[in-house]
Amino acid sequence: MGPYLLGLRLSGRRVLVVGGGRVAQRRVPALLEAGAEVTVVSPGVTPALDDLIAAGRVTWHARPYEVGDCDGAWLVQACTDDRSVNTAVAAEAEAKRVWCVRADDKDASAAWTPATGRVEEISVAVTAGGDPRRAAGIRDAVVGALRDGTVDARRNRTKPVGVALVGGGPGDPGLITVRGRQLLAQADVVVADRLAPRGLLDELAPDVELIDAAKVPYGRSLSQETINELLVDRARQGKFVVRLKGGDPFVFGRGGEEMIACAQAGIPVLVVPGITSAVAVPAAAGVPVTHRGVSQEFHVISVHVAPDDPKSTVDWPGLARSQGTLVLMMAVERLAKVAEALLRDGRSPETPVMVVQDGTLPTQRAVTASLSTVADRVSAAGIRPPAIVIVGDVVRVGQEVEMVRAERLP
């Protein structure tokens, strides 16, 4: 017969643990988290248990088990590596009608310790017929689904209200934060950017309103004012709205404008940071934006206007003189003018440059060149936005890594 599962509320209740080895080391912290008053009986204990004892969180009797140790216990854990000791502990507990868990013999154990996990107010316990590895695997799957919101998120009576500005990361759906994915699963309305991880939208429930807020360069575009109005309008209807953006909401994402618009309308706003493509895409291409002895700084620049445009607020001469890495966003169509400005103001023509298109996605590809040749190389290769441009000697670090890898391949 299967076990009768029960959630024990152990706060203030004495729990006896016989044994001070690795099994006890795993079980004692969970008992403490449940508020139990834990007593360990064992001639010796692991360093981790010794720390808990030194902190006064566990009572330790540094001796072998003795008959009578089960007195006053609400639960007993027999965790020694001696079968005869575990049998004696279990027999005493049984005689005194105290539940006992035997770590060495699931069939002889009156109770089983499940694999447990907790996500906010939800506790998960899995027994799997007494198979601890299988139980842990199932537990991990359920806890993961609860954390990312794919299990029952929208039935939560304490669903968030207002607007959440969620950074979706650089493109790969797996690179959104756990919190971001969880809120996305709870949304009534999703307002999604063109560069948001589109693969996640397929997971939305059928009744979720999806609003395409794409801003296609030189093409169809939803104005920022309209987006702000949509966020406020849907939130005022009592719906939970997720504004799903690519990268991070506050890195060239106009998240600040949306936050101000909601605040002015009295709408609560939650901000969930995202992994910005400014560092994630170079990393995906094997290029560190900083490297000891090569670059101690990096600059992230939006090139939505060319260096010679009166609207540009970028200090291009200062960047040219800098020895740091330059990470250029929205720069592909103005790359020739960027290279011209950097060369004019002092950057070496031999400065290595890498341009990465569709970073972190299966379609990712990269072109490497020098500052003097990169515009022509990118044009010839047909590189199109979205793409990240990396300027600096760190590009050589990435190339060196690739060479080492190639040499070590069989």
pLDDT > 90: percent of the chain: 70
Residue 170 has pLDDT above 80, yes or no: yes
Instruction: Reply yes or no on whether the pLDDT at 219 is more than 50.
Output: no
Is beta strand 365-370 parallel, antiparallel or unpaired with respect to 352-357?
Answer: antiparallel
Reading the block at residue 155, the tokens are: 């039935």
Q: Which of 50, 96, 106, 215 is catalytic?
A: 215
pLDDT one-digit tens code per residue, 40-95: 999 999 999 999 999 999 999 999 999 999 999 999 999 999 999 999 999 999 99
Instruction: Report phi then psi at 132, rounded to 5.
Output: -65, -35
What is the 3 state secondary structure string of 243-260? EEECECCCCCCCHHHHHH
Q: How far is Cα 376 from Cα 370, in angstroms, rounded to an integer?
A: 10
If residue 114 lies in a helix (H) or strand (E), which one and from where to where?
none
pLDDT digits (tens, 9 = 90+) for 177-202: 988 988 998 899 999 988 888 888 87
What is the pTM for the complete model shown?
0.68
Q: Give catalytic status of residue 193 as yes or no.
A: yes
The active-site residue out of 69, 104, 172, 193 is 193
* pLDDT above 90: residue 31: yes
215 among known catalytic residues: yes
Inter-CA distances, 154 with 146, 179, 244, 399, Å = 11, 14, 17, 46
Q: What is the predicted pLDDT for the residue at 393?
A: 95
Query: Rounded mean pLDDT of the chain?
Result: 90
Six token digits for residue 101: 């868990």
What is the percent of the chain with per-residue pLDDT over 70, rounded to a whole number? 95
- Asked if pLDDT for residue 250 goes beyond 90, the answer is yes
- Please give the average per-residue pLDDT across 273-300, as a whole number: 94
Per-residue pLDDT tens digits for 302-314? 999 999 999 999 9
Confidence band for 254, pLDDT divided at 50, 70 and 90? very high
Handedness of CA 59, 70, 14, 102 (dihedral sign): positive
Q: Which of 186-200, 206-220, 346-360 has the lowest mean pLDDT?
A: 206-220
